[in-house]
């Protein structure tokens, strides 16, 4: 189930593998919500070249907690 646990102990290796995954995910992996295109291709084809509004939305990664809520 956890076939990459050995990489968690090595921060540099983990970060390198995470970047490789993120680059793959955003440049090669097709997404159904983006007409079966990778996000980068969709963005270039639909948004930049056609001036179409993107349906890729920003998401909150802080569970809705903002700095002012912490203070």
Would you list the DSSP string of the chain? --TTGGGTS-HHHHHHHHHHHHHHHHHTS-BGGGTTB-HHHHIIIIIITT-PPP------SSTT--HHHH-
Q: Is the pTM here over 0.75, yes or no?
A: no
Nearest to 38 by CA among 17, 22, 18: 22
- Per residue in 19-56, pLDDT tens? 999 999 989 999 998 889 999 898 888 878 876 665 65
Statement: residue 63 has pLDDT above 60 = no
């Amino acid at each position: 189930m956890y076939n990459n646990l050995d990489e968690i102990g090595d921060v540099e290796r983990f970060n390198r593998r995470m970047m490789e995954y993120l680059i793959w995910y955003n440049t090669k992996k097709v997404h159904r919500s983006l007409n079966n295109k990778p996000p980068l291709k969709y963005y270039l084809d639909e948004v930049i070249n056609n001036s179409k509004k993107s349906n890729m939305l920003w998401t909150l990664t802080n569970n809705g907690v903002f700095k002012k809520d912490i203070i």
